[in-house]
Amino acid sequence: MELPAGLSACTVETDRLSVHVYESGPADGVPVVLLHGNLSTGRFFDQLMLAAPSRYRLLAPDMRGFGRTERVPLDATRGLGDWADDTEALLRALDITRPVHVAGWSTGGAAVAALAQQRPVASLTLIDPVAPHGFGGVRDDGTPCFPDFAGSGGGTGSPDFTARLAAGDRSQESPTSPLSVLRSSYWPQDFTMPPDREAVLLDEVLLSETGDDGYPGDAQPSANWPGVAPGTRGILNALSPKHCDWSGLLHVEPQPPVLWVHGDRDIVIADASPWEMGALGQAGQVPGWPGAEVFPPQQMVSQIRSLLADYSRTGGSVRSEAFAESGHAPFLDSGAGRFTELLYDFLDEAEAAAS
């Protein structure tokens, strides 16, 4: 695996699993941990890492189930608790004891919010994070549409996409091929990723573990629409609101400063995201939708905004930034330059406030 100059990679043995980690910056620099999202790896952050000021030490692990980290089953009943604990284990193994700055993208956003509830962090950056009440099957206040949380979890993944992912499909012959999903969902469709860069990112996506212990995870039959409820294994179940809820961030003491970045053209984390069952049912793409009174499209961005407004009202510092031309990953698309400047300015401010 060829890496750009300034970026290194190694495997760190922790007391939980062997973690593959990308790193840049000096060993004695201020530590910043970057957690990637679903169907990606730490390599997605490489350009952001290389643009860091020299005072920062950047660490971007491949999280459990993805990349080159040891294949160990994910206990989805803990939500992203395994990811949070794996990150703590990595910090122990590296003998990093001071509060670290943490940034999480998408699924990684829920994981860093969970981590911040376990240990003090120097700052918390949420990049298009999974909503505080998980992904799918919930009302505006986070209560489930059905008691068994039907319409979320492993049974909601696309079987064709999963099969293509498992087969290492690099084609663009189908909307459900991994390459097509990258182009349609990770960045806006009118943004052109350089071909060599796109090939690297696709390679990383194809390292994702599939099946009951990976993507999408197992499922349970349900008498409720759309006929499936979350299981206990794999990444989509870890994101189900049955298991994933980071609203406890409101009660963290001391409160770390928070930066929330949202791409306005994000279709993955959105109000009525076309990846979510309520929106798919409303659009007629999943038959039998019981209607908005029973199963409304989830208002993900609104839920994030509401929780962070409460965080601010209780004394927390929150900075929110919308990227009008960006999609699910502003650090990858046309917003990358602005995002880089914003992130490191925010970290500088957090460091200055703490000193």
Q: What is the pLDDT of residues 266-314, one digit of tens each?
A: 999 999 999 999 999 999 999 999 999 999 999 999 999 999 999 999 9
Residue 99 domain-assigned? yes
Q: What is the pLDDT of residue 278?
A: 97
Q: What is the pLDDT of residues 59-99, one digit of tens each?
A: 999 999 999 999 999 999 999 999 999 999 999 999 999 99
Count of helices and strands (H, E) across the chain:
10, 12
CATH number for the domain harbouring residue 17: 3.40.50.1820
Give the whole-number percent of the chain exceeding pLDDT 70: 100
Q: Is 26 exposed, middle or buried (0-12, 13-18, 19+ CB in 10 A)?
A: exposed
Residue 190 domain-assigned? no
Tokens 């998980």 found at: 134
Measured between alpha carbons, how far is residue 23 from residues 54, 60, 102, 174 in Å? 13, 6, 14, 35
Structure tokens at 30: 């201020």
pTM score of the predicted model:
0.97
Provide the 3-class DSSP secondary structure of residue 310.
helix
Over range 242-264, report the average pLDDT: 97
Q: What is the pLDDT of residue 32?
A: 98
Q: What are phi and psi of 197, to 5 degrees?
A: -70, -45
Residue 204 domain-assigned? no
Residue 155 domain-assigned? no
Measured between alpha carbons, how far is residue 324 from residues 181, 338, 340, 343, 354 in Å? 21, 12, 16, 17, 31
The chain-wide mean pLDDT, for the chain, equals 97
Residue 205 domain-assigned? no
Q: What is the pLDDT of residues 299-355, one digit of tens each?
A: 999 999 999 999 999 999 999 999 999 999 999 999 999 999 999 999 999 999 998
Residue 156 domain-assigned? no
- Contact between 27 and 77 (Cβ < 8 Å): no
Over range 92-115, report the average pLDDT: 98
Rounded CA gap, 72 and 13, in Å? 13
Over range 117-137, report the average pLDDT: 97
Give the whole-number percent of the chain exceeding pLDDT 90: 99
| Alpha-helix runs per DSSP H in the chain | 46-50, 81-93, 107-116, 159-167, 178-181, 195-205, 235-239, 277-282, 300-313, 336-354
Tokens 């939980």 found at: 16
Residue 163 domain-assigned? no
Structure tokens at 187: 């960045």
Residue 88 domain-assigned? yes
Which domain range does residue 118 map to?
8-146+244-354
Q: What is the pLDDT of residue 355?
A: 83
* Total of domains in the chain: 1
Provide the 3-class DSSP secondary structure of residue 230.
strand
- Contact between 127 and 105 (Cβ < 8 Å): yes
Rounded CA gap, 327 and 325, in Å? 7
Over range 148-167, report the average pLDDT: 97
Residue 208: how many other CB atoms lie within 10 Å: 20
Q: Confidence class of residue 139 from pLDDT cuts 50, 70 and 90?
A: very high
